Amino acid sequence: MAHDGLRTGLMEVSQASYQIIADLLAARTGQQLTESRRWRIGTALAGLFRERGISNVDQLVCMLASPGQAALTDQVVEALLNNETYFFRDRPTFDQLPEHIFPMLAERRASKRRLQIWCAGCSTGQEVHSLAMQFAEERERWEGWSIDILGTDISRSAISVARAGHYSQFEIQRGLSVAQMLEHFEETASGWQMHSSTRSIVRFQEHNVLDQPPAMSSFDLVLCRNVLLYFPIATRQRAFARLHQAMTDDGILMLGAGETVIGQTCDFEPLPGYTSLYGAVRPTATALSA
C-alpha cells in the first residue's frame, strides 16, 4: 500500500507539472493544451530534454520556477507549438483562390491594382510561398499590380525558416509537383532554395494573432488555417475580432477544413458556393445609428 501511495503521489506531482506547462502555453500563445493533447508534451520536449540534460517534466518545471530562466521558458513554448504545414495544404480548398477568389479580387481592386494578403499562423512559410507560386504562375494577369503577402507566426524559429525559403527534400516533396519544384526552386547541397523572383512579393514577421493586427493593415484576403483549433471559444472569438479588424470592408477570410465561423462569431459569414471561405460582415447604417 505504501508503494501504491508513492506511485499515486508521483502521478499527482506529474499531473501538476503538466498543468503548469499547459498554463504557460496558454498565457504565452492563447493555445489550449487539452487532455486529449497532453501526450504531445513528452514528444515535443524530447529534444529540449536531451539538450538540457533534463530527465522529466517535473524537473523542467522546477527549473522554470528558478530565476533567470527566460530563455528556457521561450524554448519550452517554441517546442510545444504545432508547426505542421506543407505546400498547398488541402489542395482543393487552396485551388479556389486562383480559380475564383483572385479573379474576384482583381475585379474589385481594378482601380488600385493592389492586393494585400495576410497569412496568420504561417508556421515555416509553405502556405505563403504557395500563394507566391500561384501569382508567379499567372504573371501576365498580374503585370503592373502590387502584390504584398505577409506571413506571421508566434514562433521565432518558424519565421526564421520561412524567411530563408530553404526546405529539405522531404519538405519540398509535400504538396509540390516536380514541375513546380523545378520552376520555383533551385536544388542545393542541403535542400531546395526558393527563387528570389518568386519570393519577391512575400515578407514575414513574428506576430500573435491575438495581438493588434500588423501595422498599416488593410488586407483583402486573410488566411488563418488550422490556428483557431487550439483556442478555447472565448480566445477564438478574440482572434476573429482581430482578423476582422485587419481586413477591408469586403475582405475574405479562409479557415482550415476543420474550422468554421458558424456559431463562433458575427464578424464573418460563409461565402455561398465556396469551402472554408468567409466574408467580413460590417455593421449596417441602421445598426450604427441605433
Q: Do 205 and 150 meet the contact criterion of CB atoms below 8 Å apart?
A: yes
**Bridging pattern class, strands 114-120 and 219-224:** parallel
Q: What does the block give as the cell for 216? A: 498599416
Q: Kindly report the pTM of this predicted structure.
A: 0.84
Q: Quickly list H helices, the chain.
A: 2-29, 40-52, 57-64, 70-80, 91-94, 96, 102-108, 126-136, 156-164, 169-173, 178-184, 196-199, 233-245, 285-289
Alpha-carbon distance values, 8 to 1, 108, 215 (Å): 10, 64, 51
Confidence of residue 36 (pLDDT cuts 50, 70, 90): low
The total of other beta-carbon atoms located within 10 Å of residue 61's CB is 19
Residue 249 phi, psi dihedral angles, 5° rounding: -60, -30
| Per-residue model confidence as pLDDT tens digits over 105-130 | 999 999 999 999 999 999 999 999 99
Confidence band for 143, pLDDT divided at 50, 70 and 90: very high
Is 11 a residue whose pLDDT tops 60?
A: no
pLDDT at 60: 87
Residue holding cell 480548398? Answer: 93
227 backbone φψ class: left, alpha, beta (φ>0; ψ -120 to 50):
alpha
Are 239 and 229 in contact, with CB atoms under 8 Å apart? no
Which class for 234: exposed (0-12), middle (13-18), buried (19 or more C-beta within 10 A)? exposed
Residue type, 242: R
Q: Which helix (H) or strand (E) holds 204?
A: strand 202-206
Closest CA to 213 of 184, 185, 240, 181: 240
> Is the confidence at residue 4, as pLDDT, over 80?
no
- State what percent of residues in the chain have pLDDT above 90: 66
Q: Are 88 and 175 in contact (CB under 8 A)?
A: yes
User: What is the band of 3 on the pLDDT scale with cuts at 50, 70, 90?
Assistant: very low
Tell me: the pLDDT tens digits for 187-217?
999 999 999 999 999 999 999 999 999 987 7
Q: How far apart are CA 102 and CA 134, in angstroms?
A: 10
Query: What is the chain's length?
Result: 290
Residue ranges and CATH numbers for the domains of the chain are: 2-80 (no CATH), 91-289 (3.40.50.150)
